[in-house]
Amino acid sequence: MHPFHDELKKRLVRYCAIDSQADMDSRMAPSTECQHDMLDLMVTELTGMGAQDVTKTAYGTVIATIPGTAPGPTLGFLAHVDTAPQFNATGVKPRVIEGYNGGVITYPDDPDLLLSPDDFPYLADKVGDDIVTASGLTLLGADDKAGVAIVMTAARHLLQNPQIKRPTIRVAFTPDEEIGRGVDPKLPVDLGVDFAYTFDGGDLGEVTYETFSADFAVVTVTGVSIHPGWAKGKLVNAIHLASKIIDTLPQVTMTPETTDGTQGFIHAVDMKGSADHMELRFILRDFERDALDAKGALLRQVCDTIAATEPRAQITCTITPQYRNMRYWLENDMTPVTLAREALADLNIPEISAPIRGGTDGSRLTEMGVPCPNLFTGMQNVHGPLEWVSVQDMTKATDLCLRIAERAAQTD
């Protein structure tokens, strides 16, 4: 058995059982108090294993140093402690299926829930692996606690083995990645690295240097409220107008369920309110900036069109940038990507390099001047009850982390 196998399994189960779900509606940093439980645990564990300069910043990122034993660029290894707000993450009960037999995985807390290799071919390739899932009522949180376990295991190994040649390494654990607020403007300077890697990817061998560009949009609709018994000619129902906006936007194209590959989308993620006031939230995604801008323009045009049908209503559309495709910067200096590819080759792991239909903290870091591609952890089916991860994939990701560190020491 791989020497990191049991450690990774125990760390993942321990971390996933801790509620650390982010909250888009909160203005705190981190957005939820419960994230401090994970962040404080990172401080305790890093201090206990002998890391230097262990700090939890005012904006809720834990940063620490693994001293170098050889010259080379200062590296960063990152993962995020928060879990996604899209599905229940309270009361997670991780379970380990030892030596997966290739059949359908059932869930003790939801007998109707099934994880089948027929539906998820990646699972079919993991016969014999130890598979970690939740119990059926929650997500697992392997996104990104698998990454946290990988970075922590690699850090512990390096600290206990000073004979391993590596440059100075900075590890960091961020909050609120899932709501696009994981990278504080102060982080690039506080991190102090030449380049970095996030361990927040999926399939074995994945090296990502191209992500979506992303914007977040909020549409508000304010109608005219009046008693419905006397409403004729006076009431302006904000629910009706909000529904018209949704109905006017593309339905058979430009939505997540109708796009794939390099196609972008407009995704309605929330709609709430009442007859007098409605709020709609959208995420806009595309790989190219001009195409992303076009989607924002389309949303604004639809809002203006519906507003023109009812001048007594007020409709606003506010679009906020979230992150940009890291390719725009990495294509000018592929040093960290090349290093990761060489490390994969050393480990005989076939590389997967394809644009991912999402983003990472690395997207923001790269845009802010810290080149930061994303590497695999093995996590699958994230943000829902069918989330799972192979411990064997996590061991290979830990090997990759360590091999990158060793290779970096050879580049100076």
Q: What is the mean pLDDT of residues 119-138?
A: 97
143 appears as a binding residue in the annotation: yes
Residue 411 has pLDDT above 80, yes or no: no
Torsion of CA 310, 311, 314, 318, to 10 degrees: 90
Residue where a domain terminates, one of 294, 322, 350: 322
User: Same domain for 247 and 259?
Assistant: yes
Same domain (yes/no): 225, 285 = yes
DSSP string, 169-220: EEEEEES-GGGT----TTHHHHH--SEEEEEEE-STTBEE--B-EEEEEEEE
What integer pLDDT is reported at residue 412 of this predicted model? 46
Domain with residue 279: its CATH number is 3.30.70.360
Query: Is 53 labeled as ligand-binding?
Result: no
* Other beta carbons within 10 Å of 352: 15
Any known ligand binding at 25? Answer: no
Strands 195-201 and 75-80: parallel
β-strand pairing of 213-222 with 114-115: unpaired
CA distance 95 to 388: 10
pLDDT digits (tens, 9 = 90+) for 244-280: 999 999 999 999 999 999 999 999 999 999 999 999 9
Residue 50: per-residue pLDDT: 97
Q: How far is CA 49 from CA 7, 17, 42, 95, 280, in A?
A: 14, 22, 11, 26, 47
Q: What is the CA radius of gyration of the chain?
A: 23
What is the count of structural domains for the chain?
A: 2
Q: Domain range spanning residue 135? A: 5-211+325-408
147, two tokens: 């990454």
Just list the catalytic residues.
82, 177
109 upstream amide cis, omega within 30 of 0: no
Distance of alpha carbon 350 from alpha carbon 204, whole angstroms:
8
42 and 155 inside one domain: yes
* Confidence (pTM): 0.93
pLDDT digits (tens, 9 = 90+) for 287-331: 999 999 999 999 999 999 999 999 999 999 999 999 999 999 999
> How many Å apart are CA 263 and CA 327, to the nearest integer?
16
Is 182 found in the same domain as 330? yes
> In terms of Cα–Cα distance, which of 289, 291, 30 is closest to 175?
30
195 and 264 share a domain?
A: no
CA distance 260 to 107: 30
Q: Nearest CA to 351 among 396, 384, 407?
A: 396
Instruction: Answer yes or no: do 228 and 282 share one domain.
Output: yes
Residue 178 assigned ligand-binding role: yes
Q: How far apart are CA 386 and CA 78, in angstroms?
A: 25
Question: Quick one: pLDDT at residue 228?
Answer: 86
Mean pLDDT of 203-216: 96
Q: pLDDT tens-digit profile of 55-103?
A: 999 999 999 999 999 999 999 999 999 999 989 999 999 999 999 999 9
User: Tell me, what CATH number does 202's domain have?
Assistant: 3.40.630.10
